[in-house]
Amino acid sequence: MPTQVRPFSRDDREQITTLINAHISAVVPNVSVSVPGLLSQIAREPGEFIVEPWVVERRTLVAEQSGRIVAAAHLVRYGRDEKVSADYRDVGEIRWLVCWPAATSWPEAAAAGEALASGCLSQLQRWGVSRCFADGSLPAPGVFGVPEQWPHIRALYERAGFVHDGHVEIVLLARVDELPRPATPPLEGLALRRSVGESGTRL
């Protein structure tokens, strides 16, 4: 079945949201993103207040087979001037890439992922960036890097030539009200207080 790699259009939004939520829920059960939340992240990421101002161009691509969006990717290009940190200056990044894994009912899904990864590399090359990064940061808590629950995405990135040269993070998420509490404080006079900290809730 032929695969068409093309720019994202608003008509794709529900299918892409379903695809992204399948990837999010594999990492963090019962968490999802809404269609407006996804569209907001594609247009601009105000939550990324450190690196977002450095983004000078963004592009979202999809891979379509027989009218079905089988894969999608969001790319950004960081500026080349001195206001951009040296770590990001003139970098092109695949912010996220998701695709349906090959299945009995849709074995051609793997080909769509390969075609999309190739399309992403072509776009980065057209931008003329000096370095390329690949990530999996979706607009949901705890979903960044390339989670171990996405072996098909890791394999796509590796076949595209990306190499993991950073560290591995283990992210633990839990509902605070469901955490077990000791009957008495473990230390005399110890009390738990919550407040707003520079990175979120401070305990």
The CATH number for 162's domain is 3.40.630.30
Q: Is the residue at 21 inside a domain? A: yes
Residue 76: name the closest of 87, 62, 92 by CA: 92
Q: Is the residue at 200 inside a domain? A: no
Alpha carbon distance 112, 122 (integer Å)? 15
Q: Is the residue at 106 inside a domain? A: yes
Q: Is the residue at 193 inside a domain? A: no
Q: Identify the pLDDT of residue 5.
A: 97
Q: Identify the pLDDT of residue 59.
A: 97
Q: Identify the pLDDT of residue 202.
A: 79
Q: Identify the pLDDT of residue 199.
A: 67
Q: Identify the pLDDT of residue 100.
A: 92
**Domains: count for the chain:** 1
Q: Is the residue at 187 inside a domain? A: no
Q: Is the residue at 145 inside a domain? A: yes
Q: Identify the pLDDT of residue 49.
A: 83
Alpha carbon distance 131, 82 (integer Å)? 16
Which residues, given as ranges, of the chain have pLDDT below 50? none
Q: Identify the pLDDT of residue 45.
A: 84
**Could you tell me the residue range of the domain that residue 24 belongs to?**
4-171
Global confidence as pTM: 0.85
Q: Is the residue at 138 inside a domain? A: yes
User: Which residue carries 């969006």 as its tokens?
Assistant: 69
> Pairing mode, if any, of strands 55-65 and 68-78?
antiparallel
